[in-house]
Amino acid sequence: MTFLARKLQSLGRHFSAGSPLAKFYPVYEALDTFFFTPGTRTPQAPFIRDSLDLKRVMTFVVISLLPCLAAGVYNTGYQVLLARGEDIRFLACVGQGLLKVLPIMLVAYAAGGFWEVLFAVVRKHEISEGFLVTGLLCTLIMPPTVPLWQVAAGVSFGVVIGKEIFGGTGYNVFNPALVSRAFLFFSYPARFSGDRVWVAVDGVSRATPLAVLSAAGHGGQAVSALREAGYSFSNMFWGFIPGCIGETSKFACLLGLVFLLVTGVASWRIVAGCGLGLLVTSSFLFLLRGPEALAFFSLPPHWHLVMGGFAFGAVFMATDPVSSCATNPGRWVFGLMTGALVVLIRVFNPAYPEGVMLAILFMNAFAPLIDHCVVGRHIKKRSARLKVFQGKAG
Amino acid sequence: MNIIRIHKGRDIRLPGSAERKKVSLALPSTVAVQPFDFYGLRLRPVVKAGDSVKVGSPLLEHKDDRRVKIVSPASGTVAGIMRGEKRSLSAVTVLCDGKQDALSFPKISAAEIKNFSPDSLVERMLVAGVWPCLRQRPFSKIADPGRRPKAIFVQAHMTDPLSPDLDFVLEGREARFHQGLEILKRLTPGNVFVCCSPAARSRAIREAKGVSVVGFAGPHPAGNISTFIHHLDPVGKGDLVWYIGAEDVCRVADLILEGRFIPRRTIAVTGEGAPARFYGETILGAPLRHLFPGPQPAGLRYISGSVLRGTDAGLDGYVCFYDQQVTALPQGGNREFLGWIRPGGNKYSFSRTFFSSFPRRAAAPVSLDTGMHGSRRAIVLPHLYDDYVALDVLTYFLVRAITAGDMEEALRLGLLECAQEDFALCSFACASKFDVGRVIQQGLTRLEKEGEE
C-alpha cells in the first residue's frame, strides 16, 4: 500500500502546476483518488463530515446493476444458442454472451470516458464518477446486435448533448443514457426496433412480447397470444426472452432494486409511483376489455410489470436523482405519471411498441414543472402560517 | 412546561463530553475581544496599546451608533490592536493585572425594575457594554437599540455535539436568572420564551415566572435559535425578534442590579482530544490555552464552539464572545485505500451505505475527525437535505434560489428564518461535500445589503 502511495505521489509531480502534463491533472486526480480517499480536511465549520461521498454513491449504483449485467450476458448467449439450435450449457451461454456484450460495454466506457476526460481537462474540473453509471446503463439498454460504431455515436451524443453541455453530472435535464438511446432509436430505427435485432444471430427474427401484442390488433386474448409466441409470465420474469441486454430479467432488476432501497441510494417514492401508475392505468384498461377492444386491454395488469423495459427503467432510470423531481410529493407525481405514460404509449401508439424510454424522457422534461408546482404550494402554506402568527401579534 | 417535539435532524454522539463538575479557573494572563464575533457591527478601537483599562471600559465602538460598545472583560493594559487582512481589525488584547477593578455604573434594586422605562434599561445596558449579548433575527446581528422586538427568546438548551448542559450551568444562579428575565420582559410588548430541554430540572427554569417556558425534545437542531423561533413565533418580512443566551441573561441582571459588568463565563471543555474535560468558570475572551492547560498532544484541531458551528481558533486563539464550549477534535485526512468500496464497519454516516449502519447503534459514541472523506462535486442527491433541517424550508430550492441570485424567491422560501448553523447537518451529510450553510449565509448577507439600499 505504501509502495503504491509512493508511486502515485511521485507520478503526481508530472501533473503539478507548471509541468508539461499539468493540463491532465484531472486524470491524475481521478487515478489518485480511485486508489486512496482524498486527504483533504474541513476548512471551516462543520468540522466533521459524513463518510459518504459521490464515488461511493455511484459505485453503489453500479453494484446494483451487476445482477442485470450478469443476467443480460447469460440471456444474450442463451438466445444465440437457442436460435442456432445448439445444446444449452451454462458456460456456453456465458461465453457467447460475453462475446456480444463485452465489446459493447468496452466501447460505451471508452466513448463515455473520453468525453468525460476531455470536458474535465478543458473545463478544469475533476472527473465525475457519473460516467461509470452512464456507461453501464448505455450498455444494458442496447439490443445485442447493435453495431459498435453506433454505440460509440450514441454514447457520445448522450454524454455531450445530454450532460456535458449543461455543465456535467448534476446539472443535466435528461438522463444521459436515455438520451443516447433515443438518439440511436430515431436515427437508426431499423437497428433498434422490429423483429430482427433482439437475437444476436444473423437472419433470426423473433418478436418481443410487446411487439406480439402490438400486432395482435382488436379482439383476441393477450395471454394466449403471448403463449403462442412462447412467452409466459415466468420466462418474462426470469428473463429468458429476447430484448435489450439488461432489461430482460425482471428478477435481476428486483435484486438491484432491493440493494438500492436498502442502502437508500434510490428514491422508493419514484419506484412505488411508477409501479402504481402502471398498475392503475392497466387495470382501468383491463376493465374495458372486450371483443371490440384492442387485444392489449385483456392483458392482466401485473403482466405489464414484467414486460419490456419497464422494470429496468423504473428502477435504474426514473430514479436518477438529477433528472427526476427533487421534492417528495413531486417524486410521487413523477412516478405515477411515468407509469401511466408507459401503458398509454405501449397500448395506444402503434409506432412504438415500447414506451418506457419515451415516458421517462418526457417526464424528465416535466420534472422541473412538477417541482415548481410543489414549491409554489409550499410557499403558499408558509405565508399562510406566518400570517396566523402575525395576526395574533396584531 | 409545553413540549415541542422535533422529528427531523440527527444527534451526532461524539466521545469526550464534559464531566458535570465546575472548575474555577485562575484569571488568564491575557484576554481578547474579537470584532469578528459581533456580526453586524462596524467597530473601531477607542483605546491604543498601553492604555490602562478596567473591567467594563470600552475597547471598541460601533461606527454607526456610538452607544453600542464592546467593553473589556479584564482590568490591565491594552497589549495590542491586531489587524488581519486588508488591515481589518482582528482583535484587541488586554494584559490582565489580576485585580479585576471594575467601572461602576448606577444600580437599582430588583423591586424597582418595573418602575424603569424600557428605554432607560436599554440605556444602562448600552453604557456598560452588555448590550451585545442581545442579538436579533432576521440576520443574527447585534440588536438595534432603537427598535423593540415582538418577542425575546432565551436559549437554555443546546443540542450541538458535546454542547454544555445549560441547565447545569445555571445551577446556583437562579435568582440572577429570574431577575434577568424580569428585565427582558420590560423590553418587549410580546412574550419572553425560555427554550429549554424537556429534561430541564434546575429551579432557574422550573420556577421562572411570567415567561413561557417551552421544552424542545428531539435530535439536533432542536436546540437551535431558529428552531425555537420557527415553532413559537416565526419571523416574516418586517418582523423582529431578539435572542440571548441563558448565561447572558444573568449578566444583564448583574449589571442592572449590581452596577458592574461581570465578565464571568462558564465554558465546557470537550472533545476526544481534551486531556481534562470539565465546565471551566473563567471570563469572556479567555485564551484556549487557558482551558487546555499543560502539554497538549499533537494532531488536534482546537475549536471555539461546537464541531458543527464553531471557529477554528487554534490553541493560541481566544474563545469567541458567544461560545460556551471549546472542542479538541482529532485532525483527519488519512488517505484510505479504495475507500469508495470498503464495507466500512467503523465508518460513521447518516446514509445506509456502510456496514456500520446496520443495525443502528444509536447509543455508542463514534469518533470523528476533520477529514473531508471525499471530493467536492455538484449536488446530485438533493433529497438528502430536508431530513436534517428542523425548519419548514425546502433546502435544495433555497440553495438554488440563492445561487441563482433570485432573492425574491429565496425570501418566499423562508430565508429570513434561517441562519448558517441550521444547515450544518446538511453540509455534514452531503455526499457532494457541498457547504449548504455557507450558501445560506451568502444569501442572508446579500439580502441584508439589498434591504439597506
Nearest-neighbour CA in chain B from A8: distance (Å): 12
* B303 contact residues in A (CB cutoff 8 A): 45, 47
Q: Per mean pLDDT, which range of A27-31, A88-92, A161-165 is the poorest?
A: A27-31
Q: All 3 cell numbers of residue A25?
A: 491533472
CA distances from A255 to A243, A260, A264, A315, B353 (A): 19, 9, 14, 10, 16
Distance from the Cα of B182 to chain A's closest Cα (Å) equals 21
Asked whether residue A33 carries a pLDDT value surpassing 90, the answer given is no
Q: What is the mean pLDDT of residues A111-119?
A: 93
Q: How many CB pairs (< 8 A) connect A and B?
A: 210
Q: Do B396 and A37 touch (CB under 8 A)?
A: no
Question: Largest Cα–Cα distance in chain B?
Answer: 70
Q: Which of B93, B59, B95 is nearest to B75 (CA)?
A: B95
Q: How far is A315 from chain B (nearest CA, A)?
A: 16
| Dist CA A42 CA B52 (whole Å) | 40
Interface test with B, best of A7, A28, A42 (most B CBs within 10 A): A42
pLDDT tens column, B422-446: 999 999 999 999 999 999 999 999 9
| Residues B159/B223, Cβ–Cβ less than 8 Å | yes
Retrieve residue A217's grid coordinates.
390488433
* pLDDT category of residue A219 using cuts at 50, 70 and 90: confident
Instruction: Give yes or no for a contact between A238 and A249, defined as CB atoms under 8 angstroms apart.
Output: yes
Model confidence over A238-279: pLDDT tens digits? Answer: 999 999 999 999 999 999 999 999 999 999 999 999 999 999
Q: Which residue numbers in chain B have pLDDT < 70?
A: 359-363, 452-453
Instruction: Name the strand (E) or helix (H) holding B123.
Output: helix B118-128
Per-chain mean pLDDT for chain A: 91
Chain A residue numbers with beta carbons less than 8 Å from the beta carbon of B163 are none
In 10 A of CB B250, how many CB atoms? 24
pLDDT of residue A14: 81
Residues B377, A169: C-beta atoms closer than 8 Å: yes
**Strand order across the B30-33 sheet:** B30-33, B89-96, B76-83, B52-53
The whole-number average pLDDT for the span A362-379 is: 96
Q: What is the Cα–Cα distance from A246 to A253, expressed in whole angstroms?
A: 9
The counts of H helices and E strands in chain A are 17, 0
User: Which secondary-structure segment (H or E) carries B266?
Assistant: strand B264-270
Task: Read off the amino acid at residue B202.
Answer: S
For residue B79, give the 3-state DSSP assignment.
strand
Q: Please state the pTM of the whole predicted model.
A: 0.92
Strand-pairing partners, residue B92, are: B33, B81
Grouping H, G, I as helix, E, B as strand and the rest as coil, residue B43 is: strand
Q: Which of B311, B334, B378 has its CB closest to that of A170? A: B378
Residues of B in contact with A379 (CB under 8 A): 412-413
- Report CA-CA distances (Å) from B68 to B65, B121, B127, B147, B420: 6, 14, 8, 14, 25
Q: How far is A5 from chain B (nearest CA, A)?
A: 9
ipTM score here? 0.92
8 Å CB contact of B341 and A56: yes
CB contact under 8 A, B370 and A48: yes
**pLDDT value of residue B409:** 94
- With CB atoms and an 8 Å threshold, state whether A47 touches B307: yes
Q: With contacts defined as CB-CB under 8 Å, which chain B residues touch A50?
A: 348-351, 373, 428-431
Q: What is the DSSP letter of B17?
A: P
**Percent of chain A whose pLDDT exceeds 70:** 99
A1 pLDDT band, cuts 50/70/90, is low
Beta bridge partners of B279: B22, B268
pLDDT at residue A195 tops 90: no
Q: Does A49 contact B311 at a Cβ distance shorter than 8 Å?
A: no
Cβ pair B431:A265 closer than 8 A? no
**Rounded distance, CA A115 to CA A157, Å?**
10
For residue B400, give the H/E element and its range.
Answer: helix B395-403
Question: Does the structure show a pLDDT above 80 at A2?
Answer: no
- A372: which residues sit within 8 A by CB, 6+ positions away? none
Task: Decide if A64 touches B, using CB distance below 8 A.
Answer: no
Q: Which residue has the higher pLDDT, A22 or B129?
A: B129
Residues 28-57 of A with CB under 8 A from B: 29, 33-42, 44-57
pLDDT for residue A393 is more than 70: no
Sorted by sequence, the CB contacts under 8 Å of residue B46 that are 6+ apart come out as B58, B59, B60, B61, B69
Quick check: A295 and A220 in contact, CB under 8 A? yes
- Rounded distance between C-alpha atoms, residue B224 and residue B231, angstroms: 11
Q: What pLDDT was estimated at residue A128?
A: 86
A50 contacts B351? CB cut-off 8 A: yes
Residues of B with Cβ-Cβ distance to A48 under 8 angstroms: 12, 14, 161, 307-308, 329, 368-370, 428
Residue A93's pLDDT is 93
Q: Which 8-state DSSP code applies to residue B202?
A: -
CB distance B311 to B304 below 8 Å: yes
pLDDT for the residue B362: 58
Confidence band, pLDDT 50/70/90 cuts, at residue A330: very high
Return the pLDDT at A127.
87
Helix, strand, or coil here: A116? helix
Q: What is the dihedral of CA B196, B201, B207, B213, to 10 degrees?
A: 20
Q: List CB contacts of B66: < 8 A, sequence separation 6 or more.
A: none
By DSSP bridging, strand B191-196 and strand B212-217 are: parallel
B301, B350, B380 member nearest A321 (Cβ) = B380
* H/E element, A331: helix A328-348
The reported pLDDT for the residue numbered A161 is 93
CB contact under 8 A, B424 and A46: yes
Mean pLDDT of chain B: 92
pLDDT at B79: 94
Greatest CA span in chain A, whole angstroms? 86
What mean pLDDT do residues A204-229 have?
85
pLDDT value of residue A200: 84
